[in-house]
């Protein structure tokens, strides 16, 4: 099986200072606000270069993979850690707490379809000790052709695709698709006797700024949100598998 294409492969082997939606323009604009400037200073993010994205040879944030005794994380921008240092995001926190390597297979804009395709390929190869899925928002749909991999989501130009238009009209399509993919990932893990925990990312990260803080782009949850989510994961892991 050939490794499935995903958006991060465009940046494989690079270290980036900025990655949409965490842009230099956004950072400079936020720094004009005294409240944000002080917050960034407290977090150590007030200088360019304080946060970077080291993308491995397979197009994922973090170090290159070595199979065995690792945590595999699947999700979208919430889990990839847009606008945050890698050290404070939930996959790193959970891996460090358990004492295993953390391989983060998340990428901004990913759908549950993407998560399953990556799980189907990488889980048998990496042979993780634990898989955690922070399922992306359900209204995302992947369509593949011989030349393209397109992830559709509400609000974007649907290019007059009749099937996609009909799919988005009925919310039940999104709900069923998201649920199918979560069960499919659990099935891959069960086939290989690997513990698997599944959550809906937006239920934990799409909360008030006061509760979860905010990342450098002000569009994603901050360190406190990742800490809270990691604690929930660790609590569930101890109850079910430790």
Model confidence band, residue 187 (pLDDT cutoffs 50, 70, 90): very high
Which whole-number Å values give the CA distances from 125 to 20, 93, 147, 237, in the listed order? 30, 23, 26, 22
- Above pLDDT 90, what percent of the chain? 83
Taking residue 129's Cβ as centre, other Cβ atoms within 10 Å add up to 18
Which are the contacts of 120, defined by CB distance < 8 A and separation ≥ 6? 1, 4, 184, 188
Q: pTM for the whole thing?
A: 0.95
Query: Can you tell me the distance from the alpha carbon of 172 to that of 184, in angstroms, rounded to the nearest whole number?
Result: 18
More confident residue, 89 or 144: 89
Query: Can you tell me the distance from the alpha carbon of 213 to that of 228, in angstroms, rounded to the nearest whole number?
Result: 11
Q: Is the pLDDT of residue 83 over 60?
A: yes
Please state, rounded to an integer, the average pLDDT across all residues of the chain. Answer: 94
- All structural domains of the chain: 67-240 (3.40.50)
Taking residue 127's Cβ as centre, other Cβ atoms within 10 Å add up to 14
Model confidence band, residue 156 (pLDDT cutoffs 50, 70, 90): low
Q: Are 179 and 198 in contact (CB under 8 A)?
A: no
pLDDT at 163: 83
Which whole-number Å values give the CA distances from 2 to 21, 74, 106, 117, 179, in the listed order? 29, 19, 18, 11, 25
Q: Are strands 196-200 and 101-104 parallel, antiparallel or unpaired?
A: unpaired
More confident residue, 109 or 242: 109
pLDDT digits (tens, 9 = 90+) for 24-74: 999 999 999 999 999 999 999 998 899 999 999 999 999 999 999 999 999
Q: Is the pLDDT of residue 157 over 80?
A: no
pLDDT at 174: 95
DSSP string of 157-199, one letter each residue: --TT-HHHHHHHHSHHHHHHHHHHHHHHHHHHHHHTT--EEEE
């Amino acid at each position: 099986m050939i490794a499935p294409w995903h958006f991060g492969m465009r940046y494989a082997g690079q270290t980036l200072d900025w990655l949409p939606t965490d842009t230099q323009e956004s950072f400079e604009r936020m720094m004009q606000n005294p409240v944000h400037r002080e917050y960034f200073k407290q977090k150590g993010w007030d200088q360019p270069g304080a946060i970077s994205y080291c993308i491995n040879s397979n197009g994922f944030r973090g170090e290159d993979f070595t199979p065995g005794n690792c945590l595999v994380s699947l999700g979208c921008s919430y889990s990839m850690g847009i606008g945050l240092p890698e050290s404070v995001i939930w996959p790193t926190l959970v891996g460090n707490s358990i004492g295993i390597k953390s391989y983060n297979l998340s990428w901004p804009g990913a759908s549950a379809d993407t998560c399953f395709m990556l799980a189907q390929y990488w889980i048998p190869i990496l042979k993780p000790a634990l898989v955690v899925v922070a399922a992306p928002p359900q209204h995302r749909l992947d369509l593949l052709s011989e030349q393209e991999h397109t992830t559709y989501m509400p609000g974007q130009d649907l290019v007059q695709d009749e099937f996609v238009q009909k799919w988005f009209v009925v919310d039940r399509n999104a709900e069923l698709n998201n649920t199918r993919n979560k069960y499919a990932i659990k099935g891959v893990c069960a086939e290989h006797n690997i513990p698997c925990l599944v959550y809906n990312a937006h239920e934990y990260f799409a909360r008030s700024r006061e509760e979860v803080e905010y990342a450098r782009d002000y569009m994603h949850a901050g360190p406190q949100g990742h800490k809270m989510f990691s604690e929930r994961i660790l609590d569930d892991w101890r109850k079910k598998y430790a």
